[in-house]
């Protein structure tokens, strides 16, 4: 982990130096393109992006303080030099979900090398009106709602000092990226807002999430298939559904998930703590390996530690056949605090491909003042230090 921390620090230093250089290079203020507070900046931002992206010198687009309105937009590369968008104000999305293509995102950055989004600004998705329509998983009859951010196919990117507020759907979708860092990032929405996941990652390598606060109605951070070398450090999560790997295995063409480190995090009043979930009786056959959770504080978390290989929400599948996803090299170390249920750990592994090399070390979770128990199925964990497994049930 020390090497990972050094890598993060080095990456931040490089971005800070490059940002300083950009400030002295080409600056493209949207006010020069007709963007004004309380106005629609969709076209001014589009025009500023076109000019900045075409610059052969590092460039910065500035959105000054004030409140602005912005329609759905894609800011696309490749650009000719490093580019930064500095947002100092508040940008509001249209409230009406019908003004969006629900398959995309409200603001999408794609196919860019050396990109920075900074400035301390807020992106307000104004999702409250739309959330009543966001029940696709249960009803299957609804309009898909747009996410606040899409970061697609970016290389060497940093998102810092930015707030994502009240997204209509996920706050952030990271897809096909390499070396992307979120630092001092916030994603906020009411605890009862549906599907407002904080940061969802898929098919990306080298994702760093540090010093970040996520309080939403769904997963704080979730890893989809193809996620590799993901590092989560000093993150506060809650309310929400916790930090999740998956769900996985529903589709044949999924890619393996490998290399997750979650360290020095606090989960407060979340439904789940740290979780790996896979579907049973589905075609996916990928592997999930090198998952490590360490130095984590749980505060009244309903299900602090979970491996669930029978994940089947709203009866969307059957459990006639076990999950084909192989889980191995997983560790839960120094996880302390309070559980909202008697079972502090539930490791429900597949009977077809049992979990291997799972470690539980120094687990100190209390339920109503007494040690929480563990429920184990198709796994024989390695026990180190304190353990709630002294009070456990085992099957398989």
At 146-205, the pLDDT tens digits run 999 999 999 999 999 999 999 999 999 999 999 999 999 999 999 999 999 999 999 999
pLDDT, tens digit, 9 for 90 and up, residues 298-334:
999 999 999 999 999 877 888 889 999 999 999 999 9
241 is catalytic: yes
Among residues 69, 133, 171, 241, the one annotated as catalytic is 241
CA gap 348, 223 in Å, rounded: 19
Domain ranges in the chain are 1-217
β-pairing, 370-371 vs 356-367, is antiparallel
Q: Comparing C-alpha atoms, which of 242, 246, 241 is closest to residue 223? A: 246
Q: How many CB atoms lie within 10 A of CB 370?
A: 9
Give pLDDT tens digits for 213-270.
Answer: 999 999 999 999 999 999 999 999 999 999 999 999 999 999 999 999 999 999 999 9
For the CA atoms of 98, 101, 102, 104, the dihedral, rounded to the nearest 10 degrees, stands at: -150
> Residue 201: what pLDDT?
98
SS (H, E, C) 351-367: CCCCCEEEEEEEEEEEE
* 288 vs 329: CA distance, rounded Å: 8
Report the residue count for the chain: 396
Number of other CB atoms surrounding residue 149 within 10 Å: 24
User: Which three-class secondary structure state does DSSP give residue 11?
Assistant: helix
- For 312, the token pair is 């089947």
- Residue 40 is classified by DSSP as B
Mean pLDDT, all residues of the chain: 91
- CATH class for the region spanning 1-217: mainly beta
Question: Cβ neighbours of residue 19 under 8 Å, at least 6 residues apart?
Answer: 84, 116, 118
Is the distance from CB of 42 to CB of 68 less than 8 angstroms? no
């Amino acid at each position: 982990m020390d090497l990972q921390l050094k890598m993060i620090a080095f990456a931040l230093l490089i971005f800070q130096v490059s940002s300083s250089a950009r400030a002295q290079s080409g600056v493209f203020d949207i006010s020069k393109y007709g963007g004004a507070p309380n106005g629609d900046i969709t076209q001014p931002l589009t025009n500023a992006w076109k000019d900045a992206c075409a610059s052969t010198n590092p460039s910065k687009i500035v959105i000054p303080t004030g409140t602005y309105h912005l329609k759905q937009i894609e800011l696309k590369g490749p650009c000719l030099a490093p580019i930064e968008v500095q947002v100092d104000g508040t940008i509001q999305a249209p409230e009406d979900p019908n003004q969006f293509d629900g398959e995309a995102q409200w603001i999408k950055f794609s196919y860019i090398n050396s990109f920075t989004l900074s400035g301390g600004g807020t992106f307000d998705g104004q999702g409250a009106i739309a959330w009543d329509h966001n029940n696709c998983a249960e009803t299957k009859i609804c309009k898909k709602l747009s996410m606040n951010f899409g970061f697609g196919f970016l290389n060497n990117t940093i998102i810092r000092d930015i707030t994502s507020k009240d997204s209509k759907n996920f706050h952030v979708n990271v897809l096909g990226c390499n070396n992307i860092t979120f630092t001092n990032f916030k994603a906020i929405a009411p605890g009862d807002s549906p599907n407002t996941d904080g940061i969802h990652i898929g098919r990306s390598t080298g994702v760093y999430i540090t010093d970040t606060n996520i309080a939403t109605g769904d997963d704080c951070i979730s890893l989809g298939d193809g996620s590799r070398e993901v590092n989560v450090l000093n993150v506060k999560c809650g309310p929400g559904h916790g930090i999740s790997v998956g769900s996985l295995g529903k589709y044949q063409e999924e890619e393996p998930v490998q290399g997750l480190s979650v360290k020095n995090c606090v989960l407060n009043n979340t439904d789940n703590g740290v979780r790996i979930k896979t579907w049973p009786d589905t075609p996916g056959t990928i592997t999930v390996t090198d998952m490590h959770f360490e130095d984590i504080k749980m505060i009244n978390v309903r299900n602090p530690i979970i491996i669930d290989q029978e994940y089947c929400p709203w009866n969307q599948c059957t459990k006639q056949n076990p999950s084909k996803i192989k889980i191995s090299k997983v560790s839960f170390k120094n996880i302390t605090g309070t559980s909202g249920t008697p079972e502090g750990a539930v490791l429900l592994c597949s009977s077809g491909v049992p979990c291997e090399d799972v470690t539980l070390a120094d687990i100190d979770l209390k339920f109503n003042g007494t040690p929480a128990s563990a429920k184990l199925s198709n796994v024989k964990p390695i026990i180190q230090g304190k353990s709630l497994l002294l009070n456990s049930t085992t099957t398989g």
